[in-house]
Amino acid sequence: MQEFLDYFLSHMPISGQWVTFFLVNLVAYLAARNTVHRRERRVEENAFDYQVQVLEFERNVLVYSNEELQRLNKEYWAMIQKQADQINSLTNQLNSTKTLHLN
């Protein structure tokens, strides 16, 4: 804003061309301001796009980790079931042996 005022004051007209001078400088100021706003918006959009990419990557990592944990959980559950069956079988064998030994 200060640069615009310095430019504006240094190029003031001498004759009755004030309205034209003012309008031309106002349009130039608005165009420059819009350019700055567009540039800022573009920077914000790029930052937002980057943040979205990072979040999508983190989400994919979490989805993969979750799937891996579910797979391991199924494997461990199957292993626990197998061991429980083995314990039941051994318990039955022990009870049979006790019954035979006591008779």
pLDDT 10s digits, 21-62: 788 889 999 999 999 999 999 999 999 999 999 999 999 999
With contact defined as beta carbons under 8 Å apart, do 13 and 21 qualify?
yes
Lowest mean pLDDT segment, chosen from 5-9, 34-38, 73-77, 87-91: 5-9
**If you ran DSSP here, which 8-state letter would residue 13 be given?**
-
Look up residue 48 and give its two tokens: 């937002």
For residues 9 and 63, give the distance between their C-alpha atoms in angstroms, rounded to a whole number: 62
Q: Enter the pTM of the model.
A: 0.55
Look up residue 15 and give its two tokens: 């004759």
pLDDT for position 65: 98
Evaluate if residue 95 carries a pLDDT over 70: yes
For residues 93 and 101, give the distance between their C-alpha atoms in angstroms, rounded to a whole number: 12
With contact defined as beta carbons under 8 Å apart, do 29 and 4 qualify?
yes
